[in-house]
């Protein structure tokens, strides 16, 4: 099975087993090509919050269906895992399994420090798997870049890698997207998008944007018309599943679910510093409830298999809406 990366426009987050199965069903039934993006917290060498999958077990699960879905490591790098590390061991492990690896050391490193990190990891990964493909750059909520920065990054990496740069297929561009409290709080800058797309074209790499969540499908369509090649969507998918649950669970079970979310602590990532989770329990569960799906105590609240069909139908509808506008 050969993957033609230029065919893939939507990359969807590995948020839960139900969502993964829904995407697989969509592709099996002849849907438009889509890929998976998996963060280190979701899926990593020794497991993650999504179904307890390790990198190996997740890739084997998806590939077992023998359908063309590229699997991309999302935000592989320093400070991106459950434990604080430099990310290198995880990235090298990814090289044996993932189709594409997003190398993202920007949480801890500046531009001058990040470039040799990226070059070194790419070389090591290609020693393990010569067919491995790469994505470089990051979203602006982690490390802001203007068009000159993106050009400098690509030029610097390209110069050092030479022929090996052919394996770099995506560069993350920034046009004003960021997420907070379940909405896209970014300020879209069309000119910035055009400049970065032109830079990617100049270097013969595909442009890719992160945080495509909570955008109207028409805006996604407009970005693709301007030349954007791919976009990531993840938290919004989880929000679809958690809202299905909120509509069927009793308030007592929602409160138990909320308690697990607060104890988990991941809600802090998605809300302002002054946000009090007890002021809006449903909002917390809606945005962060998927983080505890693999918690044994959550299984006492509901068996997620009971909503698998509803999740499948909702996710396929979500993808089709973006396909209808975007392609």
| pLDDT tens digit sequence for 310-321 | 999 999 999 999
Q: How far apart are CA 271 and CA 278, in angstroms?
A: 13
Q: How far is CA 245 from the centre of its chain?
A: 23
User: For residue 211, what pLDDT is reported?
Assistant: 93
- Residue 3, pLDDT above cutoff 70: no
Instruction: Say how many Å lie between the first and final Cα of the chain, rounded.
Output: 24
Task: Match 């990496």 to its residue by tokens.
Answer: 157
For the segment 218-237, the average pLDDT, to the nearest whole number, is 95
pTM: 0.95
279-317 burial: b if 16+ Cβ within 10 Å, else e: eebebbbbbbbbbbbbbeebeebeebeebbebbbebbbe
Q: Which two tokens stand for residue 182?
A: 């379940």
Q: How far apart are CA 97 and CA 76, in angstroms?
A: 13
For the segment 75-96, the average pLDDT, to the nearest whole number, is 94
Give residues with Cβ within 8 angstroms of 152, minimum separation 6. Answer: 111
User: For residue 55, what pLDDT is reported?
Assistant: 97
User: For residue 221, what pLDDT is reported?
Assistant: 92
Q: How far apart are CA 109 and CA 104, in angstroms?
A: 9
Residue 123: other Cβ atoms inside 10 A: 12
Give residues with Cβ within 8 angstroms of 14, minimum separation 6. Answer: 20, 36, 37, 38, 39, 42, 43, 50, 53, 58, 234
User: For residue 324, what pLDDT is reported?
Assistant: 72
Q: Which strand (E) or helix (H) includes residue 318?
A: helix 308-326
| % of the chain surpassing 70 pLDDT | 98
For the segment 139-163, the average pLDDT, to the nearest whole number, is 97
* pLDDT tens profile 265-311: 999 989 999 999 999 999 999 999 999 999 999 999 999 999 999 99
Please report which residue ranges of 10-138 form alpha helices under DSSP H: 17-28, 55-63, 88-94, 111-128
Which residue ranges does the chain devote to CATH 3.20.20.70? 5-235+310-326
Q: How far apart are CA 6 and CA 315, in angstroms?
A: 23
Q: Mean pLDDT over all residues of the chain? A: 94
- Residue 79, pLDDT above cutoff 80: yes
Classify burial at 263, counting beta carbons within 10 Å of its beta carbon; exposed 0-12, middle 13-18, buried 19 or more: exposed
The domain at 5-235+310-326 falls in which architecture? Alpha-Beta Barrel (3.20)
């Amino acid at each position: 099975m050969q993957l033609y990366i230029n065919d893939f426009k939507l990359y969807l987050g590995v948020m839960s087993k139900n969502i993964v199965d829904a995407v697989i069903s969509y592709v099996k039934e002849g849907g438009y090509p889509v890929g998976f993006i998996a963060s280190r917290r979701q899926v990593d060498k020794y497991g993650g919050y999504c179904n307890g999958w390790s990198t190996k077990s997740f890739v084997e699960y998806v590939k077992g269906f023998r359908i063309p879905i590229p699997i991309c490591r999302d935000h592989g790098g320093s400070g991106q895992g459950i434990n604080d590390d430099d990310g290198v061991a995880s990235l090298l492990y990814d090289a044996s399994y993932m189709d594409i690896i997003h190398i993202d050391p920007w949480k801890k490193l500046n531009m001058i420090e990040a470039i040799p990190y990226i070059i070194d990891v790419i070389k090591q990964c290609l020693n393990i798997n010569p067919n491995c493909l790469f994505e470089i750059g990051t979203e602006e909520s982690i490390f802001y870049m203007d068009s000159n920065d993106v050009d400098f990054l690509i030029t610097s990496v390209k110069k050092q890698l030479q022929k090996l740069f052919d394996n770099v297929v995506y560069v993350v561009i920034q046009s004003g997207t960021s997420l907070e409290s379940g909405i896209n709080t970014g300020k879209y800058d069309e000119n910035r998008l055009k400049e970065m797309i032109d830079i990617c074209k100049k270097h013969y790499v595909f442009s890719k944007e992160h945080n495509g969540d909570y955008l109207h499908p028409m805006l996604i369509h407009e970005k693709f018309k301007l030349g954007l090649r791919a976009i990531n969507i993840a938290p919004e998918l989880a929000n679809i599943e958690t809202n299905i649950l909120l509509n069927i669970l009793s308030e007592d079970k929602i409160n138990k679910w909320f308690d697990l979310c607060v104890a988990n602590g991941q809600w802090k990532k998605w809300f302002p510093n002054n946000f009090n989770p007890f002021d809006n329990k449903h909002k917390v569960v809606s945005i962060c409830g998927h983080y505890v799906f693999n918690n044994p105590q959550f299984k006492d609240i509901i068996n997620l298999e009971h909503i698998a069909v509803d999740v499948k139908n909702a996710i396929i509808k979500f993808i089709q809406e973006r396909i209808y506008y975007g392609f």
